[in-house]
Structure 1
Amino acid sequence: MRTIMTAALCGLFATAVAAQTPVAGQPIRIAGALDLSGAAADVGKDALAGAQYAVDELNSKGGVQGRKLELVFRDSASNPQKGVSQATALLQEGAAMLLSPQSSAGALAVSKVVAAKMKVPTCVGTSIADDITMKDFNPYVYSVTPTSYMEGRAQAARFAKLPYKRYALLSADYAGGRAGVNRFKEFLKELNPQVEFVVEEYPKFGATDYTASINKILAAKPDYVFSILFGSDLLTFSRQAGSLGFFKQINNRFISLYDFNTLKAMGGSAPIGTEGWQRAPANQFRKGDPEAKAFVDGYKAKTGSYPSDWTVMTYDCVTTWAQAANLAKSTDAASVMRAIESGEFNSPRGKYRFAKYDHQADVPVYFGKVAQDKDLGQPVLAIEDTIAGSVSRPSEAAVQKTRRTE
């Protein structure tokens, strides 16, 4: 019986691998099980826009290895189990590269269950869960977003220089958020043993009422509020906090992940003067490298809006794979992954490389203050500091230590 079952499984994956191998003359498929509804829908829709723009841009330049690309996707509804089944089906239908779901739970599940078994290059473009590249690493996954480890190190390095001692911590209750909070605590305590964490609040992902968390934080009288809320969660929280005078009561000593589209949605209610970090700030790109500015302006001209962090990073997922395929002169999965391990890749965020031991890109983390931008006609995060990925990324020893704890 075991022999029969093993043979059947081998047959299934052999069929899947055969389906993934592009046929000459046919478009190369880029597939994605994306969170287009459910709790991570706002991020998933931005990610889809970035992937589509990348495919269109590459096709306008002749595609990859002389062949056009085709983007195929399904809505995982922010459900990890659904994401696994959809990713599996998409690869069985034929795809050379896979975009993981946007939620951390979905990205972890697809990495462990699908990418590892079906051996297709799979890109993490939004999740910060460091288990993906550290403890649960598999050689067919690569990440272009800074992980909770990287962001935690960058944030701690910044706050260790500031005079705050008593911190309140706030995050939605999901794997990536808790990992981010824990990394911040760990690294900040190492750099400044005198700090205290006076209250920790983990409201439900997608919560609609933050009153209890707001009151608990104010009652604890922190010197500073460190938050990992983002997207619709941050938007809802900020509106409720603003109406309750929260930001005024804490003297704007608050930081969170302010992506471009969330600030646009906040409009006049954005908490001007609070701090934040971003992973890919479009307003900053317009001031720097000409190619980065061309990307932002081109995206705006085509879609009518500026790209969010999620849009930029998923765009990078696709273009990194394309650059690797061109370096390898092949879309063969193993060849592409070897090129990812050895190459240097262009992005609106500048050039980056991946380490062989974790396939994590050494991408930066950006810090600044919320301000109105008259040119763009919306609030933005005015960037004041950039921490390079080469500074914040984990060493090989740190990564291997997590794997030995299994």
Structure 2
Amino acid sequence: MARFTLSRRALGAAALATMARPAFAQGAGGTIRIGELNSYSRMAAFAVPYRNAMQQAQDAVNAAGGVMGGRRIEFVFRDDGATPGDAVRVAEELLTRENVTFLAGTFLSNVGLAVADFANQRRRLFLATEPLTDALTMAQGNRYTWRLRPSTYMQTRMLVEAIRGRNVRRWAIVAPNYEYGQSAAANFKRLLPQAIPGAEIVAEQFPALGRVDAGATVGALGQARPDGIFNVLFGADLTAFVREGNTRGLFERRTVVSLLTGEPEYLIPLGEETPEGWIVTGYPWDQVTGMPTHQAFVDAYRGRFNDTPRKGSLLGYVTVQVIASLLNKANSLDNERLIDALADLRSDTVVGPVVMRGLDHQGTMGTWVGETTLRGRQGTMRNSRYADGADYMFPEEEVRAARRSA
């Protein structure tokens, strides 16, 4: 299997790479351009750090000698408008006007599904990095679409495992009313009885994405008197929900399980309003131990951008590492050879080995599971552990059944 690693020295050199480019072998060919589309305007808190780290990793790869025997890589970044229609138009422009080799990116699940369908029609590789919907690799999966980040099912399963055996039987769900939120809610309903026999869902709230009525939502959840709450809100919706919930005492003496809330993108805006003890998936970047390459990534990122990394930063960096491994393994820009090379591709990354499972095109990149807490006036995680995505993927028989029926 092809691997790609960067030494601590190469990682640290990333910030200087734009000033001193390596001499590439003559005849090695031109720069390899990769189209990256994402919701840089609407989801800037995640997408901008993601782009920063991709540029950092791009420079590090090029400084270390490039790929395929000395060719540079270059990402062409475009905003996808955070809508399916705009994203498909941008994807078409990247392929036809910018002449990129393949596509990567997207943030929202409905946007990712639209670009996946476009990639399938055009028979061009699309590496979906952020969208979490299970449909992307299951019922609507196709030969040309692959996903790096752990899916909704995988992350929900991590959280449900963390509450296994607890005496919390009455649950409420709050999730944004679009593909990601609906998928997360369905997964929670499916997995909960296996962890807590006799558990039931007593209330569900599905506010529109970006337009949560926090007062009404919190009021409805409180009236149901649940023992636990499964939350899928993020961004500004999460901030409004937490503020109103704190004010009304919604979270007091209740177990709260929350997707993504431990990511710095969402903890930082909460600040001193961060609730105590929520069980979350996230990224405690300053608590990661036993991964020297991760620490080197953090040091280089902070040195270059004068900021701490976000979860988007980590994902952006790992994305480039996987792409570099892919190009080296395929040793070709032929689309079908790239697709074949992705099957069970193993890449050494700053969070350890990541494999792109050939069966469903899902990456084994994991995430951290822990609890929210306040450190001073800022939210962070405690008792966190890295959950390897390979341990939480859909069972193989279920994948085969889903993709046969697609």
TM-score scaled by structure 1? 0.86
Cα contact 1:198–1:222 (8 A) shared by 2: yes
Measured at CA, do residues 236 and 58 of structure 1 come closer, stay the same or move farther in structure 2, by a change above 3 Å? farther
Residue of structure 2 equivalent to 1:110: 115
Distance in structure 1 (CA, Å) of the matches to 2:374 and 2:300: 23
Structure 1: state its 5+ residue gaps: 1-22
Quote how far apart the aligned CAs of 1:90 are.
0.2
Measured at CA, do residues 36 and 117 of structure 1 come closer, stay the same or move farther in structure 2, by a change above 3 Å? same
Matched residue of 1:351: which SS? Answer: strand
Quote how far apart the aligned CAs of 1:254 are.
4.7
Measured at CA, do residues 297 and 383 of structure 1 come closer, stay the same or move farther in structure 2, by a change above 3 Å? farther
Quote how far apart the aligned CAs of 1:335 are.
2.6
Matched residue of 1:323: which SS? Answer: helix
Residue of structure 1 equivalent to 2:235: 231
Mapped pair 1:274 → 2:288: no
Measured at CA, do residues 383 and 119 of structure 1 come closer, stay the same or move farther in structure 2, by a change above 3 Å? farther
Matches within 5 A, 1:385-396: 385-396=385-396
Counting aligned pairs with the same residue, the percent is 28
**CA deviations over 1:340-385 (Å, ceiling 9, x no partner):** 21331122221121221111112224211112457xx842222434
Matched residue of 1:295: which SS? Answer: helix
Distance in structure 2 (CA, Å) of the matches to 1:399 and 1:120: 22
Residue of structure 2 equivalent to 1:159: 163
Distance in structure 2 (CA, Å) of the matches to 1:239 and 1:245: 10
Matched residue of 1:346: which SS? Answer: strand
Match of 2:124 among 99, 120, 124: 120
Letter in 1 for 2:125: P
Distance in structure 1 (CA, Å) of the matches to 2:385 and 2:29: 47
Quote how far apart the aligned CAs of 1:194 are.
0.4
Residue of structure 2 equivalent to 1:95: 100
Counting matched residue pairs gives: 377
Quote how far apart the aligned CAs of 1:325 are.
0.9
Quote how far apart the aligned CAs of 1:155 are.
2.4
Mapped pair 1:313 → 2:315: yes
Residue of structure 2 equivalent to 1:366: 368
Matched residue of 2:246: which SS? Answer: helix
**CA deviations over 1:267-289 (Å, ceiling 9, x no partner):** 222113322112x442333x231
Cα contact 1:31–1:95 (8 A) shared by 2: yes
Residue of structure 2 equivalent to 1:345: 347
Mapped pair 1:296 → 2:298: yes
Quote how far apart the aligned CAs of 1:56 are.
2.2
Distance in structure 2 (CA, Å) of the matches to 1:269 and 1:252: 17
Match of 2:59 among 35, 56, 59: 56
Letter in 2 for 1:396: E
Structure possessing the higher relative contact order (Cα contacts under 8 Å, 6 or more residues apart): 2
Cα contact 1:247–1:254 (8 A) shared by 2: no
Cα contact 1:37–1:77 (8 A) shared by 2: yes
Matched residue of 1:352: which SS? Answer: strand
Letter in 1 for 2:40: L
Cα contact 2:127–2:148 (8 A) shared by 1: yes
Letter in 1 for 2:177: D
Residue of structure 1 equivalent to 2:224: 220
Match of 2:330 among 291, 307, 328: 328
Distance in structure 1 (CA, Å) of the matches to 2:102 and 2:137: 18
Residue of structure 2 equivalent to 1:400: 400
Matched residue of 2:343: which SS? Answer: helix
Distance in structure 1 (CA, Å) of the matches to 2:381 and 2:333: 38
Cα contact 1:252–1:274 (8 A) shared by 2: yes
